Chains A and B, each alone.
Chain A
Amino acid sequence: MVPITEENDDARRDGTSIEVLYLSPVEPAETPFGPWMVRETVRTIGWLRDRLVPQPRLTVKAVVVLAFPQAADVWHAAAANALFQSLRGVVGSLTLERGPGLRLNMIVADGFDDPDVRVTLNFLASDAAGFIAGSTFDLREPS
């Protein structure tokens, strides 16, 4: 089993771990677009910047896991999808920008407790997923 860690420089250095950012924007907000989309996107780009910029020669495996916010109405649903799509933009842009030094993917699920989230993280951490970069794993719908 490949270790999954959020903060482990040694493991990152030897390429045996995957770093995971968990996003769960669940607090109620009357106007959710700012608190959900803006704040969580700023947080995500900052998290990736902190990990990639200081050590540009390392290969980093990272996953952003979004627990898709529960929508009270269509305005919340639109803000939630805006966040989801924004993160897709982040993952895609940085995959193109950083090249082989980054293997970044994204998981979206109804919650972190979903066992398929753990299965997918383990898969992404393995060598078998070495050619998967910039992808979105949408685990919300049955397939």
Chain B
Amino acid sequence: MSTLVTGAGGGIGAEIVRQLVDSGETVVAQDVNPRSLAQVQGPAVLTTAGDLLERGYLDGLGRLAVGQNVDRVIATHGIDGSAALEDATPDFVRKVMEVNAESITLLLAVTLEGLKRSGGTFVVVASQAGLHAEANNVAYCASKFAIVGWVMTLAPSLEREGVSLRAFCPGCTETPLLFAAQERFAAAAGLSAVAFIEARKRGIPIQRFAQVRETAAGAIYLAARGGRRPRILAASGGEVLH
């Protein structure tokens, strides 16, 4: 049995791979950027690079998952969708929606039969922006609200077929993607990035951002097979209550 992790070349995805390997698991690590996967390579990790929106690659990934006896999928891939409305062009919005939401539904479709046979789990790493809207982030919020709504509706049906579908909604996690978004928020608010980030931290009850290892651990907790877990889990330092 093994776990498929998408977006495995990025901050949270790569850390999930490391934590799984450290606990003795085997992993199929996927990313659109082949060079990014170098950081997770090892004897317990099979890497695969490609675009989840390309039908041929996606079908091949589904076959690979079956061949590797994947019984858990953790979808961490995504792109920064932060932009003020002025900059949210139709092409930009469409790309954010396709990568952050639609590709996850396609990924489930090609892995679902295997998950049914194994009684597996499929965890979407969404965002607290899927539970609570943010300014200057309309496309990203739309994509994350969408995928959380999709999970809420579909999960009960899949549970009757033995598959657990869950959404993890982390808050601000110290990744390059987060800091890039904060810089755009700061620019939109007319503040320096440092001042904006400090103000943002003060607005979080815990008064700091999450470390990557914490967010990775939350996703792995939610991906457990055979145990009861919440369908939607927010890990936001108290900033967003759910």
Contact = CB atoms under 8 A, between A and B. Distances in A.
A86 B145 contact: yes
Q: Which 4 A-B pairs have the closest CB atoms?
A: A92-B133, A85-B149, A89-B145, A86-B146
Interface residues of A, number: 38
Size category of the B interface is 35 or more
Contact of A93 (B141, B150, B153): B141
B101 A37 contact: yes
Interface of B: 84-86, 88, 90, 93-94, 97-98, 101-102, 105, 109, 129-130, 132-139, 141-150, 152-154, 157
Interface stretch (A1-9, A12-20, A95-103): A95-103
A78 B135 CA distance: 26
B137 A93 contact: yes
A24 B143 CA distance: 19
Interface string A80-96: 11111111111111111
Interface string A44-82: 011011001100000000000000000000110111111
A134 B138 CA distance: 13
Contacts of A49: 85-86, 88
Nearest to A34: B102
A10 to B, nearest CB: 23
A4 B131 CA distance: 31
23 contacts: A37-B102, A38-B101, A41-B93, A41-B142, A45-B85, A46-B93, A52-B85, A78-B105, A78-B150, A79-B105, A80-B153, A81-B153, A83-B146, A85-B149, A85-B150, A89-B130, A89-B138, A89-B141, A89-B145, A93-B136, A94-B85, A96-B133, A134-B133
Contacts of A52: 85
Residue among A75, A81, A85, A91 with the highest chain B CB neighbour number at 10 A? A85
Given A75-B154, A82-B147, 20 more contacts: A31-B105, A37-B97, A37-B101, A38-B94, A38-B101, A41-B97, A42-B90, A45-B88, A49-B86, A53-B86, A74-B154, A77-B153, A82-B153, A83-B146, A86-B101, A86-B143, A94-B85, A95-B133, A96-B133, A97-B138
